[in-house]
Amino acid sequence: MQYHIAPLFCRPWTLNGITPRLIESHYETNYGDALRRLNAVTAELETLDPATTPAEAINRLKRDEAAALNSTLLHELYFASIGGDGRAVPETMATAFARDFGSVDRWRREFMALARALAGGSGWVVLAWVPRDGRLTNQSGADHGQNLAGGIPLLAIDMYEHAYHLDFGSNAEAYIAAFMRNIDWKAVQDRYEDAVKAAPPRALEQKEFGDVPAVSVEELKAMIDAGTPVQIIDARPRHYTTRAHDIMEHAAWRDPERVDEWIGELSKEKPVVTFCVYGFHIGCQTAGKLRNAGFDARYMAGGHYAWKAAGGKVRLFE
Ligand SMILES: [Fe+2]
């Protein structure tokens, strides 16, 4: 695999307070170096014999490859982040910042503070879109260690000294201000509009229980906290519970094999939530049986372990 150089995205002569000399040096020397390293290490990886190469050599090469690839990608994003009027934040981006940070100003102050915190060291601050949560986040990373899995980078400021020393000496503050003045919001918004089309990671789907409604652990917790009357049934299989030592605080354990024996204890006036160990079959099946019997029953997605992972309270199970 041969990586190709990307043409300079911004027009250096249009920048406000950042000289073409700095951008040329940065593009040719630092971006170019990352791309050349990336191609060299990729070639080395492609020619080695994985069966006979020592583990530490492969580990080192893969680390070098990741750093060079990240440096390449981030530099391309950096040069595509400037070249506009940074003060004019378009409506779409302003609305997105207000939604995810409270306001444009709050986002700007956070982004700049993260950049300032890297001054004198080396690293990147990146504005990224996270499809899982459908929101924007600012990420700060030392060196090229940018690895927000699944985040889609939209805007990047390079905080290596090579990104400003020629023009600004050690005055990182002035460089950050100049960067902010030059943000190309049109380009950022184009990337944002592409990014929001990325589908979130696929959620767990249990087609066989598609007609049984679920409740999330957070929803159940909110119901409990609000004092909503709800009947919670821990329906973990008997063979499992013999070695379990905890149970959700508000739940009563009932044997899922013997629904007929305990169904009479439940009230049809109050909702029922059932769950099993991980939220797959048993909890769903039990909720399904109760629904067939006329109860307003749902299963708790993720089961016992999702409840615990979310910090839900448990008590000793005897
Ligand atoms: Fe750089």
- pLDDT per position as a tens digit, 259-314: 999 999 999 999 999 999 999 889 999 999 999 999 999 999 999 999 999 999 99
Q: Where in the chain is the domain with CATH 3.55.40.20?
A: 12-195
Q: How far is the CA of 160 from the centre of ligand 1 (A)?
A: 6
Q: How far is the CA of 207 from the centre of ligand 1 (A)?
A: 49
Query: Is the per-residue pLDDT at 102 higher than 80?
Result: yes
Output the CA–CA distances (angstroms, integers) from residue 178 to 19, 32, 67, 172, 188, in the order listed.
Answer: 11, 23, 27, 10, 17
Q: How far is the CA of 266 from the centre of ligand 1 (A)?
A: 65
Diameter over CA atoms, the chain: 82
Q: How far is the CA of 64 from the centre of ligand 1 (A)?
A: 16
**Surrounding residues of ion ligand 1, Cβ less than 5 A:** 30, 158, 160, 163
pLDDT tens readout for residues 119-174: 989 999 999 999 999 999 999 988 877 666 678 999 999 999 999 999 999 999 99
Q: What angle do CA 42, 46, 48 make, to 5 degrees?
A: 115
Classified by CATH at the fold level, domain 207-316 comes out as Oxidized Rhodanese; domain 1 (3.40.250)
Q: How far is the CA of 84 from the centre of ligand 1 (A)?
A: 19
Q: Where in the chain is the domain with CATH 3.40.250.10?
A: 207-316
Q: How far is the CA of 285 from the centre of ligand 1 (A)?
A: 56
Query: Is the per-residue pLDDT at 189 higher than 70?
Result: yes
Q: How far is the CA of 274 from the centre of ligand 1 (A)?
A: 54
Amino acid (1-letter code) at residue 205: E
Q: How far is the CA of 260 from the centre of ligand 1 (A)?
A: 68
- Count Cβ atoms below 10 Å from residue 59 Cβ, excluding itself: 10
Q: Which residues are CB-contacts of 122 (< 8 A; sequence separation ≥ 6)?
A: 142, 143, 159, 160, 161
Per the structure block, which two tokens stand in for 117?
A: 């915190």
Q: Which CATH code for domain 12-195?
A: 3.55.40.20
Query: Is the per-residue pLDDT at 39 higher than 80?
Result: yes
Q: How far is the CA of 163 from the centre of ligand 1 (A)?
A: 5
Query: Is the per-residue pLDDT at 204 higher than 90?
Result: no
This prediction has a pTM of 0.83
Per the structure block, which two tokens stand in for 108?
A: 């700007």
Q: How far is the CA of 121 from the centre of ligand 1 (A)?
A: 12
DSSP string, 182-218: TB-HHHHHHHHHHHTTSPPPPPP--GGGTTS-EE-HH
